[in-house]
Structure 1
Amino acid sequence: MRTHSPDYAPSPTPPAGPTPAQARLGLWLGALGVLIFAMTFPMTRLAVGPMTDPQLPPAFVTAGRAAGAGVLSLGWLLWLRAPWPQRHQWTTLAVSALGTVVGFPLGLALALREVPAMHAAVVTGILPLATAALAAWVLRQRASLGFWACAVAGCLLVLVFAWRAGGGHWVAADGWLLLAVAGAAVGYVAGARLSAQMPAQQVICWVLVLSLPLTVPVTWAVWPTRSASAAAWGGMAYVTVFSMWLGFFAWYRGLALGGTLRVSQVQLIQPFLALLLAVPVLGEPLRGETLFFSVAVMAVVLVGKRMPTSTAHPSPTSPVTPTPSER
């Protein structure tokens, strides 16, 4: 692998915000990533199975998907002859791995043993607000009051729907889902920061490769001792190749091009996409109320993406974080 990358040298000029074309492309790529991630819910449910008919162990699904995607990432990086990350980037890679490789997949897999995919999709609908709030603090991004009003309104719609779908109360699995939300927010923001310093598709690959010394032994240790259905293994294959790897190619690139605060709001529609996908995959019933909330949330997203956002310039002593205009 090369030890340097001339295409990603820091620019001497201050970073600028994304152009309209970059913002549009970022939103489309973010939407593609969200569609891939939405399918994660029914596919993970297929992989682990319900408590009444358990399939693959949640720990195996968590470690195995990351180990398989890590092997794919290693091969891709070697074929690409990608440069090694710089020393100061390894800590951020580790933080992203903690959230995207461990926190979100494990919390989701444990929860989906107890609740349907539709329930999990609705509860994790608060992820965009968690991501945006964390991004505003870590990446020093600023948004207008109108933007935050749309973000809060969208999350309130999601929370109301979750409360109604849960029969007016939370269940124990919701704790695992909140852990998944926290992990994903941390991982997304760390990945977004790195995707401004190296090609976005390499970010998740290095995260997964860094995790191999952990994920491979754990996968071996928790390998299933009982047989599982072909559908369970199919779900495992999907979350390995698409949810854990290819989906991030589109997602991190979208965050880098369109801005983390803005593109992250597209994820408001993810729970409702997952609801729709759960119908053909799992046979879960779809109610008219779901469609109503889906349309309402998408309307809020369309308004929110038109609200102004900006990124503060980094100080001379802070690590360089190139923007898309510097590529």
Structure 2
Amino acid sequence: MSAHDSATVLRPIAVGGTAQAALGVFAFSFSFPATAWALEGFGPWTVTGLRGTLAGLLAGVCLLAAGARVPPRSAWPGLAAVAVGCAVGFPLLSTLALRLSSTTHSAVVIGLLPLATAAVGALRAGARPPRAFWLAALAGAAVVLAFTVQQSGGAGLTTADLYLFGALLVCAFGYAEGGRLARDLPGWQVIGWGVVAALPVNALTGALALTAEPVHGNWHGLTGLAYLAAVSQFGGFVVWYRGMAAIGVPRASQLQLAQPLLTLCWAVLLLAETLPATAVPTALAVVACIAATQRAGKGTGKGRGQSGGDGGGAPSQ
């Protein structure tokens, strides 16, 4: 196959992978507003346990209906990271944070997740993205951090911030391991087996929390919980992991720089929170960083093995 033919074949894969990763980001951008809604009807431990339990049951039904085979033993350490990071750790820590902080503040702090995901993915795969990629990624993270400091009025880290930093750390490992596994397993099965593996822990958490925390069966609470279980915990990951498998963890992770800005919009529209005056210039700077990271990694991949979800991204390994 000629170089031209190879490029022609790989181009639709890259475009499709970018679109799927972007769709995952769009789905995740509603997660914090949905959590805020869920907290209107349930306590934080109840929200975490029930969303994980419902997602695990949904994933189990889908896996059975598709006749999916149990993954090989070699895949289970990675699936354990997905379960701990994406099905237990991030939901719990972010929900606890949202009890103490606004959706807008929390969304911007979690904006550091793309850099953490790219770093973990590259380290796990032994990848060497070009310097321009890392400079653009660091610039994006610096913009997000500056926005956070400005919004806090220069105050030190709060308890909510500590919850959020813990959430982004465990989630970065879950994202990176999920993207790596999605080379060999369909993306929906990666998150499917991950939430199924976490089902016993989440079911026990939900059962105990229901006896200890008050429940108010209002429309917001039920809608938020349903979204978290069906989309944030399962459906969004299906397209997210497929996107990472196609274009690589570092490149896909940088698309998430847009997620905090999308979440800010939903916070205004759905939660009536006040949009900070610096949101628009921050959004423009973030978009510029996304474009720079995508351009830095373009054209250096040599096939799915290198541009896939092993963490190497498009840059050669």
TM-score by length of 2: 0.89
**RMSD, matched Cα:** 2.1
Of the three residues 271, 291, 301, the one matched with 2:260 is 271
Find the counterpart in structure 2 of residue 4 from structure 1: none
Find the counterpart in structure 2 of residue 289 from structure 1: 278
2 CA distance for matches of 1:289 and 1:119?
Answer: 13
Of the three residues 290, 301, 305, the one matched with 1:301 is 290
Shift of 1:36: 0.7
Aligned residues: 296
1 CA distance for matches of 2:83 and 2:123?
Answer: 20
2 CA distance for matches of 1:272 and 1:78?
Answer: 37
- Output the amino acid matched with 2:60: L
**Residue 246 of structure 2: SS of its match in structure 1?**
helix
Moved more, 107-116 or 286-295: 286-295
Residue-by-residue CA offset, 1:153-199 (whole Å, 9 max, x unaligned): 00000000011111222322100000110111010011111111111
Of the three residues 15, 22, 26, the one matched with 1:35 is 26
Shift of 1:141: 2.0
2 CA distance for matches of 1:108 and 1:152?
Answer: 23
Find the counterpart in structure 2 of residue 100 from structure 1: 86
Of the three residues 143, 164, 177, the one matched with 2:150 is 164
Find the counterpart in structure 1 of residue 167 from structure 2: 180
Q: Which has the higher helix share?
A: 2
2 CA distance for matches of 1:292 and 1:250?
Answer: 29
Of the three residues 194, 212, 218, the one matched with 1:207 is 194
2 CA distance for matches of 1:30 and 1:311?
Answer: 18
% identity of equivalent residues: 37
Find the counterpart in structure 2 of residue 48 from structure 1: 39
- Output the amino acid matched with 2:158: V
CA contact (8 A) 2:88 2:198 kept: no
Of the three residues 14, 19, 28, the one matched with 1:23 is 14
Find the counterpart in structure 2 of residue 317 from structure 1: none
Question: Any stretches of 5+ residues in structure 2 without a counterpart?
Answer: 1-5, 304-309
**Residue 137 of structure 2: SS of its match in structure 1?**
helix
Confirm or deny that 1:64 pairs with 2:55: no
Shift of 1:229: 2.5
Residue-by-residue CA offset, 1:259-291 (whole Å, 9 max, x unaligned): 111111000111111001111110001233101
**Residue 278 of structure 2: SS of its match in structure 1?**
helix
2 CA distance for matches of 1:199 and 1:115?
Answer: 36
Moved more, 228-237 or 245-254: 228-237
Q: How does 1:104-119 map to 2 (within 5 A)?
A: 104-119=90-105
Moved more, 188-197 or 225-234: 225-234
- Output the amino acid matched with 2:151: A
CA contact (8 A) 1:141 1:312 kept: no
CA contact (8 A) 1:142 1:311 kept: no
Find the counterpart in structure 2 of residue 132 from structure 1: 118
1 CA distance for matches of 2:78 and 2:302?
Answer: 20
2 CA distance for matches of 1:35 and 1:226?
Answer: 29
2 CA distance for matches of 1:22 and 1:293?
Answer: 31
Find the counterpart in structure 1 of residue 180 from structure 2: 193
Runs of 4+ in structure 1 over 6 Å off: none
Question: Any stretches of 5+ residues in structure 1 without a counterpart?
Answer: 1-15, 50-54, 314-320
2 CA distance for matches of 1:226 and 1:209?
Answer: 25
**Residue 132 of structure 2: SS of its match in structure 1?**
helix
1 CA distance for matches of 2:256 and 2:186?
Answer: 22
Residue-by-residue CA offset, 1:226-266 (whole Å, 9 max, x unaligned): 32422112111111111001000110000000111111100
CA contact (8 A) 1:23 1:259 kept: no
